[in-house]
Copies of this chain bind each other. A is one copy, B any other.
């Protein structure tokens, strides 16, 4: 650690010595700071030999360019933003879809070597306030993850400065997942295994995913000529109003009534792993076996589905493709290129696991 010795100037307190700058590196190798800047960014204009010396000197000094200065001068931040909705003040964990969006966003960024900045958008109680990322110009563009405050969307629409792409919600540039197609396909797969009596449960239906999921179920059933009994469609409370434990109890009660019927369903599709789990637990409590007596499928993410044994078969948003697509789209916008499609639809994936089996003779 020789950097304090090589930084004789400037008021550096003893306990926190100044970080080295381009100038320090330049002095060390006896070149101009311009050369250092170019070399470290791999730009042409510096001979390979000098480049090597500069790199080494930088490494020895522990030099790291200050992002603020780079942003200020270059007019680009080099960062991509992700804006998510937090669970809310009292709901502590954010939803599993936010979680998946975040995970695959990170994955995509790592893959394409992009720096990111994740922000969780909180509405300000006194008056609208835009997200810091944008207000402070800390990102070149933004991915809006899932459902986001309407006021913010409105504000964004009338801002000329910002580039953004919406994920799984509509917008001028958007990537959407057609979970309805997945649900309809799940119905078909259950049908092929011999199932004819298939029930469905989900909600709250003001979320796009839940609403189109329900529609997918209806479509799937009607495509196969299967009758739909409205009492076989569960509608579960909107999270913020109904406390989670009560919601969970309601689900079990509904499933209990469903399975008490003489001709109870042989298969169930739940929109959300929680719904599926409560169905599993209720079935087991009633002495039914899964999947022998009843098959269960869930709309949800893999990790949650495999948490419990038997692992759930799932209808999953293909967040990997979704986020890669969205990031590509945003990069095009940021780079000023024209974007081919401003709305891309991504098909969900079906993964069969232990909770589904053929109907028993």
Contact = CB atoms under 8 A, between A and B. Distances in A.
A43 interface: no
A245 B77 contact: no
Interface stretch (A260-268, A298-306, A342-350): A298-306
A68 B137 contact: yes
B93 A96 contact: yes
B309 A67 contact: no
Interface residues of A, number: 73
B19 A137 contact: yes
A321 interface: no
Contacts of A126: none
A103 B93 contact: yes
A44 interface: no
B64 A136 contact: yes
Interface string A1-35: 10000000000000111010000000000000000
Contact of A92 (B93, B273, B303): B303
B86 A135 contact: no
A35 to B, nearest CB: 21
B99 A303 contact: no
Contact of A68 (B19, B77, B251): B77
Interface string A67-81: 111111000010000
A175 interface: no
Interface string A102-121: 01101100100001011110
Contact of A308 (B17, B277, B301): B277
A258 to B, nearest CB: 15
Given A117-B117, A136-B64, A245 B160 contact: no
A53 interface: no
Interface in A276-332: 277-278, 280-282, 284-285, 287, 289, 301-304, 306-309, 311, 319
A121 to B, nearest CB: 10
8 contacts: A1-B160, A16-B160, A17-B160, A89-B110, A92-B107, A92-B301, A93-B103, A245-B353
